[in-house]
Amino acid sequence: MRSDCPTTCIVILAILSISILPLFDPFEASALPEGYPVWLSGGYAVEQPNSTMYLDYLQPGSTENYLVHLFNTGPDQVRYRVSLTDEPEDWLVFLGSGVDEMIVDLDPGTGTAVDLNMKTPTERTGDIEVTVKDESSMEEWQVTLRIICRKGPLVVSLPVLDHTLGRNTPALVDIDLRNLENTVLNVTLSMDGIPASDARIEGEWTVVFEDRSLELPPDSTTRVRAYVYAPELEPVGSQKVTTLSVVVDGITRPFTVTSINFKVQTIFDLRSTVFPAEYQLISPGESVEFQITIENWAVDYDTVSLEMFDRPSGWDLAFNDTFDPTSLPFNVDPYGERVFHPVVFTPRNAVAGKHVVVLRASGRANTTEIRLMVEVARKDSFQLFTMTSSGTDDTYRLTLGDNLIPIRVVNRGNYYDSVTMEIDTRPDWAPLTFHSIEVGGGTNVTTLSGAAPVNISGIIDSTIMILEDPLSKITLTFDPGQSAVVYLGTSIPLGTRANSGVVGIKYMYGVFREQQFLQASIKLILADIEIVDTDGDGGPDIDIYPEPDYEIGDRIYFSWTLRNNYPYETSGLKWSVELSGRVIIEGDVPPIGPGEEMEFNESWKADKSTKYHHVVTLKISGDAYPQEDKAPSASTSEQIYISPGPRKVAWGVMILFVGIMLLIISAFIAFYLWVRKDLREKEAVERERYEALYGRKGAPPLKSGASAGRYGRRALEKGERRELPPSHIRHEGERKRGKVPADIGRKGKGPVRERASGGARKASPLSGEGKAGAKGRKLKVKDPSASGEKHIGRKKKRTAGRESAPGSDEVEELEELEEFEET
């Protein structure tokens, strides 16, 4: 028995566990009253105290599953009828696989769970009531699931879900939290399966949040960064999948982002440091040197490329080293470092404030940013300039009526600053106020009212702002280096006498409101009768058209406009147009009312007495009015050129001359071609004769008989026998038969003599013994038996002692050839 005791105990314990098992709920225990046979679980539903209600939060369009737990606590079998007795009409809620009512049979002491499903709820708060009814006792129990379905109050998003990290390099996870409520939300961040800590935990996956618990301002978006570390001995290629959870105070359901993937790789770890690491204060135009260290924390060398990534406009960077690391990639040894010394140069107009020059070092796998931080000291400076019509002095010339005095204002400082300008002094006869402000040329016109400061910072489009209220003091806010034109306006009434004075502008700027002054002179010019400036060059104009250059006989047109600056109507004025001091046209000026203008259009025909360059002068004159001290007068001049002859005739003569020259050239070319053609024909005839005589096709024709003679002599000296070509033989035969005229091939026109059969010489077409043979040329041949040589030549070249050999065929042929060449 003692050996069977352990076995018996095990069997007894197994029977007891099987019998007791139905007494325990396999699901979460409930805090409902004792004996209550139904409760809920699932999702993030939370049972409310002292009630049968459960509360959960859902997002619109989500899907969630809950469980309705049933338990039979009685001694008998029970049948429960489970049904949905209340639910929102527009929500999809069902039991099991899609019904509203189910029958469940339970044995004593047993329990079960029924699925309660919900899909795509709309944004609202609704109650789902589940009723459980005992079919035998007709007793009922209810549980209620209250769902708060709404957007937010928090939206969680991650820009990147897949991350790579190394054993010594964490993954950087950016988390965006958007608060949709108008109240502050207290949130807590966590990652499932990865413990959160303030520092890396050795040998474990760790997440370090920059701020794990934080307050989100109403209607705002906040970005939080988390650093995820892998264990130091984590196998290369292993992966970790987790879920980000954000819990909001008062809401038990966390807002999650699923499937955040982390993959461990052997990566190169490139790091960098900067010294000094703080902002370096310098003045505009100065430079500052830094020391940067690029470190390789990998077990292999790394190839690094250093580039300028970002810098303020106009700034420059150089390296105080023998090697410029931005020019070529360079290597960094394993666990080694490279040190460089960049120098940052600031321009003279560098904007005040804190600036960062960013260098980017890119290795084989990762990139590190190097931040060179510079703070430019503030420099306050404004300057005002006069803008007079002459541009050479500071005197503004005013006339009766409305006048504008432009003053250029420039922010010479390097800071966003304001300047206050005030009219300090002015003459009594010129009441000055600020009229308008022009920025960038002034094409868009706006109006301003009141004395509030005017901010022109950031204005890109051309704008002119007109001040409706007459102000003697204004404040303008400028960008660094920005400029604007401020106009002072004044209206001088009619009858004001000529006068002059000084205008003083006081302006203050900067933190300490430094005060400066600008002074300019103004002078009233009474221009009595005025020739109006029509082209905007600042001077009176007389328009001459249709063109600047003319010729004798052309009609020249003149146009001008007069303005009456007198406070009364003009009378007795005359106008005249002079050409180099000679009046060519003149007339009277009709009466012009005060401040009115009148346009004049006149013409004149150029005569023969006017030519070449001239100055056209318009003069206005008249007698002095009783009210004035001087007579009205005005004048202006323009230059013109009058050609001495009509240009059309000159063009005609030129065209005729060109035509005659073309005809002459054409005739010369035709004559040249005709002569060349005749010469070619003669050369062709000579070529045919030459080929017929020598039998050498394609040989160039000979131009002198001497050459032919020399050729014949050389041939006889070499013992060659020249045969007449077949064509020549054919012509000789045809002559004998009477088919060819007897004079073909002969220079003379005598009868053709036949050669005797005994070798006696007969007349030949080439023998030259006709009329043309009267020259009596004879050839002598040296006896070959004496010296063994032959020398043949003309009679005048023969030497004493040479004898002829009449009857020789070679001599006869040579003689014929020479006579042919002479022909």
For the stretch 732-778, pLDDT in tens is 444 445 544 544 444 444 444 444 334 444 444 434 444 434 344 44
pLDDT band of residue 355 (cuts 50, 70, 90) is very high
* Paired tokens of 384: 């005002």
CA–CA gap between residue 489 and residue 500 (Å, rounded): 16
CATH of the domain at 353: 2.60.40.10
pLDDT value at 227 more than 80? yes
pLDDT digits (tens, 9 = 90+) for 107-140: 998 999 999 998 888 888 899 999 999 988 888 9
* Paired tokens of 80: 């429960």
Q: Quick count: other Cβ atoms within 10 Å of Cβ 406?
A: 17
**pTM, full prediction:** 0.35
pLDDT digits (tens, 9 = 90+) for 62-94: 888 999 999 998 888 999 999 998 888 888 999
- Domain shared by 467 and 544, yes or no: no
- Count H helices and E strands in the chain, helices first: 6, 51
Domain membership flag for residue 653:
no
- Domain shared by 406 and 516, yes or no: yes
Sheet of strand 251-264: strand arrangement: 162-165, 251-264, 239-248, 185-191, 213-216
CA 700, 701, 702, 703 dihedral sign is negative
Orientation angle between helical segments 809-822 and 647-694, nearest 10 degrees: 170
- Domain shared by 293 and 368, yes or no: yes
Domain membership flag for residue 675:
no
> What is the reported pLDDT for 83?
94
Question: Quick one: average pLDDT of 553-579?
Answer: 85
Orientation angle between helical segments 726-736 and 647-694, nearest 10 degrees: 80
Pairing of strands 101-106, 53-58: unpaired
Domain membership flag for residue 205:
yes
Domain membership flag for residue 192:
yes
Q: Give the alpha-carbon dihedral of 409, 410, 413, 417, to 10 degrees.
A: 50
- Domain shared by 395 and 490, yes or no: yes
pLDDT value at 784 more than 50? no
Rounded percentage of the chain residues whose pLDDT exceeds 90: 30
- Domain shared by 393 and 520, yes or no: yes
pLDDT value at 644 more than 70? no
When divided into structural domains, the chain yields a total of: 6
Position with higher pLDDT, 815 vs 37 = 37
The whole domain housing 453 covers 382-438+445-524
* Domain stop point among 107, 134, 149: 149
Domain membership flag for residue 459:
yes
- Domain shared by 109 and 181, yes or no: no
pLDDT value at 299 more than 70? no
Q: Quick count: other Cβ atoms within 10 Å of Cβ 696?
A: 10
Mean pLDDT of the chain: 78
What would the 3-class secondary structure string for 187-254 be? EEEEECCECECCCCCCCCCEEEECCCEEEECCCEEEEEEEEEECCCCCCCCCEEEEEEEEEECCEEEE
* Domain stop point among 89, 117, 149: 149
> 396: number of CA atoms within 13 Å, CB side?
25
- Domain shared by 554 and 625, yes or no: yes
Question: Quick one: average pLDDT of 389-403?
Answer: 78
Q: What kind and span of H or E run contains 88?
A: none
Domain membership flag for residue 654:
no
> What is the reported pLDDT for 36?
87
Position with higher pLDDT, 627 vs 613 = 613
Question: Quick one: average pLDDT of 341-368?
Answer: 90
pLDDT band of residue 43 (cuts 50, 70, 90) is confident
pLDDT value at 720 more than 50? no
- Domain shared by 137 and 35, yes or no: yes
* Domain stop point among 119, 149, 179: 149
**Contact between residue 822 and residue 705 where contact means Cβ atoms under 8 Å apart:** yes
Beta bridge partners of 437: 465, 486
CA–CA gap between residue 478 and residue 485 (Å, rounded): 12
- Domain shared by 51 and 97, yes or no: yes
pLDDT value at 343 more than 90? yes
Phi, psi of 809 (to 5 degrees): -65, -40
Q: Averaging pLDDT over each range in 372-381, 496-505, 696-705, which range is the top one? A: 372-381
Burial class (CB in 10 A: 0-12, 13-18, 19+), 517: exposed
Q: Averaging pLDDT over each range in 307-311, 540-544, 631-635, which range is the top one? A: 307-311
**Contact between residue 126 and residue 87 where contact means Cβ atoms under 8 Å apart:** yes
- Domain shared by 127 and 232, yes or no: no
Question: Quick one: average pLDDT of 300-320?
Answer: 91
Burial class (CB in 10 A: 0-12, 13-18, 19+), 667: exposed
CA–CA gap between residue 638 and residue 547 (Å, rounded): 13
CATH of the domain at 454: 2.60.40.3880
- Domain shared by 130 and 174, yes or no: no
Q: What kind and span of H or E run contains 701?
A: none
> What is the reported pLDDT for 417?
86
> What is the reported pLDDT for 596?
85
Domain membership flag for residue 7:
no
pLDDT digits (tens, 9 = 90+) for 482-528: 899 999 999 988 777 767 889 999 999 887 788 889 999 888 876 57
Strand ranges (DSSP E) for 363-432? 367-376, 382-386, 395-398, 401-411, 417-425
Residues in the chain: 823
Domain membership flag for residue 574:
yes
From 383-387, 544-548, 693-697, the region with the lowest mean pLDDT:
693-697
pLDDT value at 658 more than 60? yes
From 27-31, 39-43, 237-241, 683-687, the region with the lowest mean pLDDT:
27-31
- Domain shared by 734 and 783, yes or no: yes
Position with higher pLDDT, 103 vs 298 = 103
**Contact between residue 506 and residue 422 where contact means Cβ atoms under 8 Å apart:** yes
